[in-house]
Amino acid sequence: MTSDKKGIALLTEIFVKKGLKQIVISPGSRNAPIIISFAQHPKIKAISIVDERSAAFFALGMAQQTKQTVAIACTSGTAALNYAPAIAEAYYQKVPLLVLTADRPEELIDQGDGQAIRQKNVYANYIIKSFELPQEISNEADFNFAEKIINEAINLTQYPDFGPVHINIPFNEPLYNQVEKHSFEANIFEPVIKPKSIPEEKIKEFAERWNGYEKKLLIAGMMDTNTRLEEILNKIADDPSVVLLTETISNLKNSCTCPCIDRVVSTILPEEIENFRPVLLVTFGGQVISKMVKAFIRKNKPLEHWHIDPIDFQMDTYQCLTSGIPVKPTSFFSQILPLVKPKKSKFNFNWIERDKRSENRYAQFLSKCEFSDLKVFETILKAIPKGSNLQMGNSTPVRYVQLFKPFQKLTYNSNRGTSGIDGTVSTAAGAAYVSKKPTTIITGDLGFFYDSNALMNNYLSENLRIIIINNSGGGIFRFIPGPGETDQLEEFFETKHDWKAEFIAKNFNIHYYSANHLNSLNTSLEKFYKLQPNNKPAILEVFTPNEKNAVTLKEYFKYLKF
């Protein structure tokens, strides 16, 4: 059975014919035709999550892991607005989502009807493209138009790059009528994909410029694991004039010169700048977490900056872009590799020696470090099981993780598209649901409480582990300059509180552990990562001293310098 609404039945069939299987639906009435058509289809896995904001982030986590388009569907009105944070994150993180919003008929908009708002182009600033299906399909022209829209919308979630696409679907009542089958045959249209490459003469020009510079700095941003790219970068970086900087979210673990950027950049004294300043900067991947490296490059600009990305090739993070290269990094580096020549230089040596010194200083400091956020992160990262997916919450958690070398045993993910604290637990839950890998989310207290509705669904898998670093507020505001000099630090910036997650966990029948010193943390971690009695996820809440955390981190960076 399917809905008698021909447009949504057509959408369902094309969705399936394109090999897609997953949809996250939030309950409603206006979206009943979507529910009927998708949830009853034998080849579609439909799940139901009440909170639209959480549902969209859950779907984002699913798509983030599978690289397959996941649909989300909601009723009309404010329900659609609750999708906005996850759609913005999907847009900037490049995650494929198909956003289906049910709508009132056009004649009811702005006429005092319930849950009738202006939904056309509602996500205009952070969507690849928006479409609206015809309200009725009454002739062949309507059908062909709807078929074209649906194909284009689904294709755009994947090509030329991943991202969210919106289809608004107005429905007339009645909403619940069903038919056995429609008589139409759905056609699918696939895009013609031509891998982009740089013309040979242009590559030669890039190679000549590359070979002329003695100080070349490569910075990798947020990326998925890419074995082929890593192999090429290993060869590229085997050059005294080349330095490759990565972060955990780069997921490049074998070819890096300096895997902890801030450990080195924070130690560079004014008189040493020329030893570390690049003449050529080459960037690729998505966003970079380190504010220190951004500030360093912006202040000490290279002669040239090339950014490599098939879509966002003009992204000028370091405010010195000279060449945008519109191809995938793997394509560019594989093309230029045969033409590059090692060059005599101390550039690589300078970075490596400083990294070694910082590594030794780091080890000395951590060996004496008392219980604090810094010590807690060291302990947790060592305890995460091999083969895990680590989801890093925004604000302080993702920054703390960057202070430690990436573990070969882990895959790193974080919602760094927009870097918001909302939806990180929901994203991890979605990731755990589809991947089946052990999945740990490390979140701050405010990030957890803000997204505690992530626990309000029936699809939380037993491989999900939630770690809350509870330092009684937004700890980052004690680190960054500014808030501490105001009278509003605790109430308006830090949002100081005495909340605990224990009874939220109990409410959802999730096993809860807590720790407030190193011994209890080690004991709890051992139990926390075992299979839970009810085959459900588990929560570990670690209480750390907020004022001491800030002092410890400042002392850490001071210790690295001398």
What is the tens place of the pLDDT at every residue in 236-293? 999 999 999 999 999 998 767 899 999 999 999 999 999 999 999 999 999 999 999 9
> How much is the pLDDT for 69?
98
Q: Which residues contact 305 (CB under 8 A, 6 or more apart)?
A: 280, 281, 282, 283, 316, 318, 320, 321, 322, 323
> How much is the pLDDT for 492?
47
> How much is the pLDDT for 111?
76
CB atoms within 10 A of CB 31: 25
pLDDT in tens, 125-181: 999 999 999 999 989 999 999 999 999 999 999 999 999 999 999 999 999 999 998
What is the average per-residue pLDDT within 497-518? 94
> How does the average pLDDT of the chain come out, rounded?
93
Which CATH number describes the domain made up of 200-351? 3.40.50.1220
| Confidence tier at 102 by pLDDT (50, 70, 90) | very high
| Confidence tier at 24 by pLDDT (50, 70, 90) | very high
| DSSP per-residue codes, 422-458 | TTHHHHHHHHHHHH-S-EEEEEEHHHHHHTGGGGSSS
Q: Where would I find the beta strands (DSSP E) of 75-112? A: 97-103
Q: Please name the fold of domain 2-173.
A: Rossmann fold (3.40.50)
Distance between CA atoms of 411 and 191, rounded to whole angstroms? 31
> How much is the pLDDT for 196?
83
CB atoms within 10 A of CB 349: 12
For residues 168 and 124, the answer to whether their CB atoms sit within 8 Å is: no
What is the average per-residue pLDDT within 349-356? 96
What is the average per-residue pLDDT within 453-465? 96
**Percentage of the chain surpassing pLDDT 70?**
96
Higher pLDDT, 473 or 357: 357
Res. 474: pLDDT tops 90 = no
What is the average per-residue pLDDT within 318-323? 98
2-173 with 369-561: one CATH topology?
Answer: yes
Res. 192: pLDDT tops 90 = no
CA neighbours within 13 Å on the CB side: how many for 326?
6
> How much is the pLDDT for 349?
96
Res. 546: pLDDT tops 90 = no
pLDDT in tens, 403-456: 999 988 899 999 999 999 999 999 999 999 999 899 999 999 999 999 999 999
Pairing outcome for strands 70-74 and 97-103: parallel
Q: What is the largest CA-CA distance in the chain?
A: 77
Higher pLDDT, 494 or 120: 120
* Owner of token pair 């990798």: 220
Distance between CA atoms of 32 and 175, rounded to whole angstroms? 6
pTM value?
A: 0.94
- Tokens of residue 15, six digits: 């969705």
What is the average per-residue pLDDT within 302-319? 96
Res. 330: pLDDT tops 60 = yes
Distances (CA, A) of 270 to 30, 265, 267, 276: 63, 11, 10, 11
Distance between CA atoms of 427 and 419, rounded to whole angstroms? 13
What is the average per-residue pLDDT within 447-469? 96
Domain chopping of the chain, boundaries? 2-173, 200-351, 369-561
CB atoms within 10 A of CB 57: 34
At the fourth CATH level, the homologous superfamily of domain 369-561 is: Thiamin diphosphate (ThDP)-binding fold, Pyr/PP domains (3.40.50.970)
| DSSP per-residue codes, 195-256 | -----HHHHHHHHHHHHT-S-EEEEE-S----HHHHHHHHHHT-STTEEEE--GGGT--SS-
* Owner of token pair 């598209």: 417
> How much is the pLDDT for 482?
57
What is the average per-residue pLDDT within 169-198? 90
> How much is the pLDDT for 277?
98
